[in-house]
Structure 1
Amino acid sequence: MPPDPRSLQRRLFGLPSGADATTAISYRDAADRVAGIDDPVQLDELMNRAATAGDAMLLRAALAHAYQHGWRSLVTTYGGAAADELLNAA
């Protein structure tokens, strides 16, 4: 049975299960921050900084933004195996 794309999206882009209020606020702020980015190069730079800093919520929000814009190379670069599954299931 192929993987469920919605489940993979939640795993990649959503809040971790059991996330507390601070994590939820951090994710919402990160999603707001990336919402205005319309250049994949600019998003790549932000994702690189987030990955280097260990900012998981910013990276998740940026992954969701990249996926929504169809910037597959960013999703595969920063999303790992779950991203590959999602892109192959779509």
Structure 2
Amino acid sequence: MTLQHLDDQIEAIRAEAGKQRNAYNDHRRFLQESPNLTPAGVEAELVPLEKSFRENMQALMAQETDLVAGAVRDLERRVYGTAGTSPDAVITFRDAQERAARLDTIEEARDAMSRAIRSKDTGLGQAILGRALEQGWRSVIDAYTQDNPQIAEAINDLATLTRFQRDDTQRLRASMIYL
């Protein structure tokens, strides 16, 4: 899945939310302006309408969240592969993850990535890449990408989606669309 395709799907979900919001507002206005309903009658009609609208918005927001999470999972599989099933592979994977998690600065990560690339330690390189994606350490991501050009697009897409998921402005924007 390309990011453009994902973006198109998100925009379609958000457009649907806009349509539902407009329909809700129109129906609400119609009820409030209806000469045939008392204030109690209007309220009785609005309660289930509002409940249904909130449920629909929550479902659309969940659909967007699931779509992005699924794209991240797919990209992670393309970038990282699997840890393996042998005891040695699992231990090596865990060790690399622990070592990468201890990297606190971009300088430490750059040095560790350079060593992993020089020694062709794929597992450690992938673990450091994961840490770099979490922290937004672009130069570390670029170092890995240069050594692995065959998956550069997937890595860059994963970096973009990781930033998107963590961006407070994007989360606020989505919340405003669906609330």
State percent identity of aligned pairs. Answer: 32
| Alpha-carbon RMSD | 2.1
CA contact (8 A) 2:116 2:124 kept: yes
Q: Partner amino acid for 2:156?
A: D
Deviations 1:38-62 (A, max 9, x none): 1111111111110111100000111
Shift of 1:14: 5.0
Q: Of the two structures, which has the highest relative contact order with CA contacts closer than 8 Å and spacing of 6 or more?
A: 1
The answer for unaligned runs of 5 or more in structure 2 is 7-67, 165-179
Residue of structure 1 equivalent to 2:119: 53
2-11 or 70-79, which deviates more: 2-11
Structure 1 distance, partners of 2:72, 2:78, is 10
Aligned pair count reads: 88
Structure 1 distance, partners of 2:80, 2:105, is 19
Residue of structure 2 equivalent to 1:64: 130
Structure 2 distance, partners of 1:76, 1:9, is 16
Residue of structure 1 equivalent to 2:74: 7
For residues 68 and 20 of structure 1, do their structure 2 counterparts lie closer, same or farther at Cα, with a shift above 3 Å needed?
Answer: same
Q: Partner amino acid for 1:5?
A: V
Structure 2 distance, partners of 1:50, 1:57, is 8
Shift of 1:74: 1.3
SS of aligned partner of 1:15: coil
From 65, 85, 90, give the equivalent of 2:157: 85
**CA radius of gyration, larger in:** 2
Residue of structure 2 equivalent to 1:20: 85
Structure 2 distance, partners of 1:65, 1:14, is 16
Relative to the length of structure 2, the TM-score reads 0.44
The answer for unaligned runs of 5 or more in structure 1 is none
Structure 2 distance, partners of 1:68, 1:83, is 12
CA contact (8 A) 2:106 2:137 kept: yes
Q: Partner amino acid for 2:129?
A: L
